[in-house]
């Protein structure tokens, strides 16, 4: 349930279009008003009532670093969808998961690809360029 804190936040936010769209300037005013509005709905308990306990991963040394970093194992679902995962002799499509990304750049491993025969070039054997 929203607290009084969040209700105060709602009142200060101006709706500018139907069905609850708010003024984008709320992002600029930002800070207390917007934060109150958000946290009032997303936090069920007051942080003051809890003590921060050490979880097991906070009490031991971490894993070694890979030479080439890869995403967290908790992010396995953030992947391209493949039209031809077994590499049959036809076109390949790999689609970017925009709903699982944010910002403006596409990570290289998630960049979309359409390939009509699959990439297969070795610079060692020499390209024509």
Q: How far is the CB of 55 from other proteins (least distance, A)?
A: 24
Q: What is the number of other CB atoms lying within 10 angstroms of the CB of residue 6?
A: 19
Q: How far is the CB of 6 from other proteins (least distance, A)?
A: 8
Q: Which is nearer to other proteins, 63 or 127 (CB)?
A: 127
Which residue has 């894993």 as its token pair? Answer: 63
Q: Which is nearer to other proteins, 50 or 127 (CB)?
A: 127
Closest CA to 43 of 97, 100, 14, 3: 3
For residue 117, the SS3 value is coil
Site residues (CB under 8 A) for other proteins? 2, 10, 13, 15-28, 34, 37-38, 40-42, 80-81, 83, 92-121, 123, 127-129
Cα Rg for the chain, rounded, in angstroms? 24
For residue 27, the SS3 value is helix
Q: What is the number of other CB atoms lying within 10 angstroms of the CB of residue 4?
A: 9
Q: Which is nearer to other proteins, 18 or 56 (CB)?
A: 18
Q: Which is nearer to other proteins, 51 or 94 (CB)?
A: 94
């Amino acid at each position: 349930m929203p607290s009084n804190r969040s209700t105060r936040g709602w009142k200060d936010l101006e709706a500018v279009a139907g069905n609850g769209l708010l003024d984008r300037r709320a992002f600029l005013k930002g800070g207390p008003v917007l934060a109150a509005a958000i946290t009032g709905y997303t936090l069920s308990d007051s942080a003051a009532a809890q003590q921060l306990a050490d979880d097991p991963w906070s009490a031991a040394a971490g894993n070694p670093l890979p030479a080439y970093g890869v995403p967290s194992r908790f992010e396995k679902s953030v992947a391209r969808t493949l039209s031809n995962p077994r590499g049959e002799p036809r076109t390949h499509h790999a689609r970017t998961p925009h709903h699982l990304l944010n910002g403006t750049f596409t990570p290289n491993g998630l960049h979309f690809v359409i390939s009509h025969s699959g990439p297969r070039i070795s610079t060692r054997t020499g390209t024509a360029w």
